[in-house]
Structure 1
Amino acid sequence: MTQLDRSECPIELTSVILESGCGSEETASDRQHLRESSTCMGTITSHAEETANVQELPAIDGGWRAWRFVASAFMVEVMIWGYEFSYGIFQEFSTVSIAAVGTSAIAIQYGETLLLSLFFERYPDLLKRSVWVALGVATLCLLLASFVSQISHLIMLQGVIFGIAGGFLYYPILVLLPQWFHRRRGLATGIIFSGSGFGGFAFPFLFQALLERYGFRWTLRIWALVTLFGMQPRLPVPKFPRGQRPRFIPPQMHFLKSTLFWLLSICTIMHAMSFYSVSLYIATFTKVISTPLSASIVLAIFNSSGTVCQVVMGHLCDRFSYAWMMAGSTLVSGLAVFLLWGFARELTLIFLFVIIYGGFMGGYNALGPASASDCAGNKPEQSSIIWACIFFIRGIAVVAGPLVSGVLYGVGETTESAGSMYGGYGFKALEVFVGTCTVAASLGSVMMAITRRKVQE
């Protein structure tokens, strides 16, 4: 029997991985992990079978460990994204300044995901330690931000630095979700992503209750324990011999040649430019026709209306085509912009609009993992970097959309009359822009559905 030279292996083979749990099934990513771990064995497979340790994996698509991950990821959504929709609880600045803080944090978190994907593909053993460091940085930002009095300091702490740390805290969800869920991935995604809407609505109350009951120190400890307890990998972390780590930029990214990927990118841009424009300006519009209290209620409803829809749409995504669901949700949202927001002169139509638009456009995000997995095709190991690319593209659109909307609103304020039948108070051009982007996302989704059908045939 020829002795195995371990130095030739790109990954140390430390175990033979077997599925455990009743009803669990081997996924394509599991098979890829096994292939990577055993490529260096060549034809000496019998030697590995005699000497390797056998390690059983937790059950996929169920079991307390999988749902523990969902609960932990949900709390990350609440604490990171929900917090970023709740800046007003900490500082009292103008609406424009608050928007600058929130937009910069969200854009950075989306934009850095691609770099994090490339980095942790090469250094997966640093993932868990980076979460601890990021948690400390994010906590320090929260503490220091409560003492600042200048908007530039707030933007740096809660926008830039907290955004960077939030990306490190959030990234493990993108990596670990495909490990824990396959058949029920849509449902798990919907539950996790609903944390942002739930946090945007309830975070100020939850945070205040924890502060009053347990104090600042224990509030942060509870946050840390809940977040990190369930953020555990299902597959063993690969170990690389010195000097044999993967390249920083993967040599083969076949999805860049896929029409499906570029259509998904276009739909992502249109969705983000529309959604974040509404999130920034719907409260301003409500103040024009009603009171600041009504504006706060409308914004809370908008942030929370996607919570239920994300769970429902995520669950339906496990059974039906995600592309047609994307097309339907964006079409309904576009019609809501043109028919409800455009003619809104009273709170009733505004409430109806934010429920429909916030629900369907918020639920759209739950379809992301399914679309990324589909773009990966027979290369399931690339699904995480595809998702990271989509996040990077979304980060650009998060900045571009509100900038365009701000220009359109500024022009509309000086040229439009309040008594216009459609889109008055300076919001007409902005509403047309938002509605057009939403409908464009729907048309792009239809093209995705047609493309998928042709590929499958």
Structure 2
Amino acid sequence: MAASSSSEAGDLEKQPLPAHNTASRPHELDETKDYSVDDVRATKQDGSTRRSCRAPSGRGRSRPSHHSGHSTSSGGDGEAGTDDDEVEEEEVIGEEQPSVLDRVLSRVTSRSSYDPSPPPDGGWLAWTQCLVGHIVIFNTWGWVNSFGTFQTYYTELLQRPPSDVSWIGSLNVFLLFFVGTLTGRLVDAGYFRLVFLTGTGLLAVGIFTVSACTTYWQFLLAQGLCLGIAHGCLFCPTLAVLSTYFLRRRALALGVAACGSATGGLVFPSMVRQLLPQVGFAWTVRAIGFVQLATMALANLLARPRIKPRRAGPLVEWSAFGELEYSFYAAGAFFNFWGVYFAFFYVAAFSREALRPPMSYPESLNLLLLLNGIGIVGRLVPNYVADHVGAVNVFIPTSVVASALVFCWVAIHTPAGMYAWVVLYGIAAAGIQSLFPAALSFLTADLRKLGVRMGMVFTIVSFAVLTGPPIAGAIIAGPDGYTGARAFAGSSIAVGCGFLVAAKLTKMRKTGQGWTGRI
């Protein structure tokens, strides 16, 4: 009887596993296919009796199951640090090799532990991260968009031409974007907290150092270099983390966070206008510093990354540029940002020098306040629409409107016309600023690579914001004046719009969508 059982078990052992007929034999799986965890568990339960009756091979002793070991090595890592979908099995001489079921289960376990769960798309924690994003952008882009206040003051204080002074603000924005390549990869690797704390510390050092500056090179180092690095450590990581909490409402969430730029653009120029005549420049900047430190302390307490770290991976994902829609989008972002900040840097100076009658310094700051404040509309409405029709689909017409408005600026010569223009352009420019990261996150399918890809495009854009305002300043100082500078800014945005259209067409061809498809 025992011999008969052994013979039957040996025959079972020699039978080959079917490649596709899993319907007739549900306890056996094809390891070339992908199965869900539930499918494998059900198959394992159905076939447990058959596997338990296998006899030891004649080549050696029976081998104990290594399934639990595979699950631990692939799923318990907690770092999602491998890009391989299969777990390699080490051959042991004289022992039975793992069954197909064990290998498929090991693959499914590895994949399920590596892939992030779907974004919550709402809830207290997700909207708390939106608040963190608002605070960070309040202290980074709110400060950057307020540079027109300092542009006017530094030009008179330092007795330097506008193009020289604009390098201070341009260096700040350049580093805000450029540092994103490194910080984005560090966030993917699990160092969000370290990067965020470093940015907060540099922010404190930079802002209080600015209050003590008196010469051009001091402002360039403190406000341009130190604050630029600080902003780069805060902005890109925060957007990368926030994007992982939303899917269907991602553009809206990023738009709400981007409203921090308008909030800061209202608060900081207002503080300068009220405090500068009363307490002087040093204590005005210190007061701004205290506001920034208090808000960043709250952001540090609330920030929570969601995706598990991806330890392995390059600093730059060069393969991303092999996707034409990504390359076109990066070029489109470059040209849009080459011209969009011209108004934020020079609208106050233009209103005092080129309008008839010219505006006073406080009146010119009112224009800057309006330009930033109306941006709340430009950040919320386009992003809300983008969640329904696609961020790139909204980005393209927004870019068209912004370019047309810059060209129309040439015909404005009165304060009343200037106020009307600022309202319209403020909405369009805010749309470009907020849709830029939203559209980028929509083009990234793997959220674990979002930090790297966002950092790469930020680096490309950084060279646009570094050179755009100084080029405009040099044109203003030349024979073409403000007319030539406005032509430069409008043309840049128009070229950027063309690249955005190319990115959309490429994506349409790849996905088979029509022009109205959600992209």
Shift of 1:329: 1.0
Contact 2:187 2:451 in 1 (8 A): no
In structure 1, C-alpha distance between the alignment counterparts of 2:321 and 2:155, rounded to whole Å: 42
1:246 to 312, 330, 341: 312
Give the 4+ runs in structure 1 shifted more than 4 A: 3-12, 33-42, 44-49, 56-59, 87-92, 204-209, 215-221
1:65 to 1:89, Cα distance in 2 relative to 1, 3 A: same
Query: 1:394-441: CA deviations, max 9, x gaps?
Result: 11001221232123222225xxxxxxxxxxxx2221122222222222
- Helix, strand or coil: the match of 1:318? helix
In structure 2, C-alpha distance between the alignment counterparts of 1:391 and 1:161, rounded to whole Å: 18
In structure 2, C-alpha distance between the alignment counterparts of 1:35 and 1:70, rounded to whole Å: 30
In structure 1, C-alpha distance between the alignment counterparts of 2:211 and 2:239, rounded to whole Å: 31
> Does 2:297 align with 1:225?
yes
Write the letter of the residue equivalent to 2:366: I
Question: Scaled by the length of structure 1, what TM-score is found?
Answer: 0.79
1:267 to 327, 332, 344: 332
- Give 2:238's aligned residue: 173
1:370 to 1:130, Cα distance in 2 relative to 1, 3 A: closer
1:108 to 1:7, Cα distance in 2 relative to 1, 3 A: farther
Contact 1:108 1:163 in 2 (8 A): yes
In structure 2, C-alpha distance between the alignment counterparts of 1:220 and 1:446, rounded to whole Å: 39
Shift of 1:327: 1.8
- Give 1:366's aligned residue: 434
1:218 to 1:150, Cα distance in 2 relative to 1, 3 A: closer
1:231 to 1:98, Cα distance in 2 relative to 1, 3 A: farther
1:178 to 1:37, Cα distance in 2 relative to 1, 3 A: farther
- In structure 1, the gaps of 5 or more residues are 16-32, 239-244, 414-425
- Give 2:13's aligned residue: none
Contact 1:271 1:437 in 2 (8 A): yes
- Helix, strand or coil: the match of 1:94? helix
2:484 to 429, 432, 457: 429
Contact 2:396 2:500 in 1 (8 A): yes
In structure 2, C-alpha distance between the alignment counterparts of 1:115 and 1:106, rounded to whole Å: 16
In structure 1, C-alpha distance between the alignment counterparts of 2:405 and 2:292, rounded to whole Å: 40
1:435 to 1:171, Cα distance in 2 relative to 1, 3 A: closer
> Does 2:136 align with 1:71?
no
> Does 2:148 align with 1:80?
no
1:10 to 1:403, Cα distance in 2 relative to 1, 3 A: farther
Contact 1:11 1:36 in 2 (8 A): no
Alignment of 1:12-161 (within 5 A): 12-14=76-78, 40=87, 43=103, 45=105, 60-86=120-146, 88=149, 92-94=153-155, 96=162, 98-121=165-188, 123-124=189-190, 126-161=191-226
Question: Scaled by the length of structure 2, what TM-score is found?
Answer: 0.70
Contact 1:324 1:445 in 2 (8 A): no
- Give 2:398's aligned residue: 329
> Does 2:499 align with 1:444?
yes
Write the letter of the residue equivalent to 2:223: Q
Shift of 1:265: 1.7
Shift of 1:160: 0.3
- Give 1:306's aligned residue: 375
Query: 1:53-91: CA deviations, max 9, x gaps?
Result: 9xx989711111111111111011111221234455799
1:353 to 418, 421, 424: 421
Write the letter of the residue equivalent to 1:314: N
In structure 1, C-alpha distance between the alignment counterparts of 2:195 and 2:506, rounded to whole Å: 39
In structure 1, C-alpha distance between the alignment counterparts of 2:483 and 2:392, rounded to whole Å: 30
Write the letter of the residue equivalent to 2:257: I
Query: 1:208-228: CA deviations, max 9, x gaps?
Result: 99x99xx89975663233211
Contact 1:8 1:40 in 2 (8 A): no
- Give 1:421's aligned residue: none
Query: 1:307-335: CA deviations, max 9, x gaps?
Result: 22111111111001323322211211222
> Does 2:349 align with 1:279?
no
1:14 to 1:375, Cα distance in 2 relative to 1, 3 A: closer
Write the letter of the residue equivalent to 1:227: A
2:474 to 407, 411, 419: 407
1:6 to 1:454, Cα distance in 2 relative to 1, 3 A: closer
Write the letter of the residue equivalent to 1:261: Y
In structure 2, C-alpha distance between the alignment counterparts of 1:67 and 1:41, rounded to whole Å: 41
C-alpha RMSD over aligned residues: 3.6
Shift of 1:236: 4.0
Q: Percent identity, aligned pairs only?
A: 19
In structure 2, C-alpha distance between the alignment counterparts of 1:72 and 1:101, rounded to whole Å: 27
1:327 to 1:86, Cα distance in 2 relative to 1, 3 A: closer
In structure 2, C-alpha distance between the alignment counterparts of 1:431 and 1:407, rounded to whole Å: 12
Contact 1:105 1:159 in 2 (8 A): yes
